[in-house]
Structures are given as structure tokens and as C-alpha cells.
Structure 1
């Protein structure tokens, strides 16, 4: 059972499609295989698995990243509903510095996104009661967290829906300074 991996325009961001095999009992799909994903994730070893439950369509979470020794790869999968997942390249030496991509993650489509260190991540909920599963290669430590405001004018993210919910923490994230040179890894 082979996972299908597609490199996105930002280096290191990979969409993973998991074929689903079904019969009268239901279905089966592989969501993770170290052998197939080790080419995309350095030192593949997950430290945390997290679950995000989102009640209302229009909710936005993000944009978040980890710094220094806690920089991480994330594998993000929508396990119920649909979200628009957004990744912004903040790596100072990247050819795609400050570029962003958006990918619809959908439980029915059975896709996931690999997000490399140095990229900020966020999403908007497209269906009520959407849920995401995250695999992280580093532990979350508040002293190493970073973030960018969801309406940063330099990024100009086009959220498809009106924003209905956002946390106090996320609304307080800073915009990038005009002279932002990027994150060093």
C-alpha cells in the first residue's frame, strides 16, 4: 500500500495522499509509513501527536511555528470535515521566502501535509465540526513558539470565509516587520 507524495511549490512541503481500500465492512488506509516518508522528514521521529477539534466553520488557527532547538516538522491531517491549510515559508535562505501555499485538507480526500521547520502554519475551518490530527517531531515548549498575525499585510492571505472564531493568543500575534530577514535554521 503506497502513499502518494507530491512536492508543493515551497521546498519541503509535501502533500500525502493515502489510498483507501473499502469493502462491505468499511475501509482501510495507511496514514503513516516511516519508510515512505523518511525522504521528506529529516531524522524522522515523532515526539507529540495532537488533536484539534473545531466547532465552527470560519474558525482560524495560526499562524504558528517553533524556533531554535524546538523547530519541527509537522504532519497535519484532517480526520473529519474540511479545512484550508496555509503554509508560509519564513526561512531566510529559501528560494520561496515569504511565499505561501494553501491546500484543502479533507477527511473524504484522505490527504495530509508535511510542513518543514521554518514555515508558519495555520488553517481555516471550511465545515462545522472539523478535526485535525498533528504529528510533531519536537516537543511544544512555549519559550520557543513563534507566530505571525493571520491578516499580516505582507502575506495578504486570502481566507475564503468570514472569520468567525480566533483565539486571543492568535489575534495578538505580531505582523512581520518590514525589514524581516527570515528565520535562520
Structure 2
């Protein structure tokens, strides 16, 4: 079984490695790492806002209903005068950008470990993106798109909890049985089937 620290190391080693496989343990340990990193960043952000307390009062002053265009520039100037907040926000943006591609690669590797063919893993991942924007568009024609995206999020969640090679040999989305162990060459202990 992959340990929490080994999952973190594998995540960064396979930065843009879309081939291969990732076990359930590796996938979920990295989800835990991502949550821990986000919580630490959120705490830093709250501390930054508290330390730049003058920023909060200035934002309140400029967020009145009758804000003119010139006052928006003043607000931007005030936001730029909060150095700790800017540093923490930039750190968050850099972390999000640094983790974007490895998260996609980890997800695709996990779907492939469940037994899907590569194209099916990509289709599930891409279509699950449509559920992320339901707050931006709320008209009736877009609701069907978001419902389909939500269904693919559910399918992705199910694929992420399936044991290794569960879908191998099943229909057109499963790998052929003779390809069962093709992608396990680089993982030390790649089987969670003992659970």
C-alpha cells in the first residue's frame, strides 16, 4: 500500500505523466494532501486579511451602492497597498497553477487503474468539467449541460473508488483482459485489492 508521503512524492514525480496507473491509496492520499494545503493557505489568507485590517475598512468604504468608476481605481490602489495579502494571494495562485496539471494526470491515471481505456478516462474527466459553472449560467438551456456534467462527476467519483482492474474486459470502456498489467511497471505496491 502506498503511504501518504510516497503518494505526495509520486504526485510530483508524475507531474505530467498521463500514462501509467495510480492506486486508490495514492489518489486519495493526494486528495488529503490537497485539502491540507488548501486549509493552510486559507489560514494564511485569514491572517493576512487580519494583519491588513485597514484593508477591510477601506473595502467596506468603497463597496457602497453608489460606487463611481474613479472610486474603483482607489479601491484597487488600496488593495495593492496590502502587501501580506498580495503575497498570500499570489502564493495561492502559484500553488493552484503548479498543482493543475499533476491533478489532471493523477485523475486520468486513477481512472485507467480502475480498468478504463484511455479515451474513456479523458471523456469522463472533460465532461465532468461542465458541472463546475452552474452558478455562472442559470438559464434553462444550460441546465441540461450541467446535469450531464454532474452525472460525469458522479461517474468519476465511482471510478476513483473502484479497485484496480475492475472494469478490465467489460464492454467498450474497459481495457482488454490481456492489457490488464500493462501499466503497473513503475508502481512499487500498486494493488489495493487486498483491502
Structure that is richer in strand per residue: 1
What is the TM-score when the length of structure 2 is the normalising length?
A: 0.22
Structure that is richer in helix per residue: 2
What is the TM-score when the length of structure 1 is the normalising length?
A: 0.23
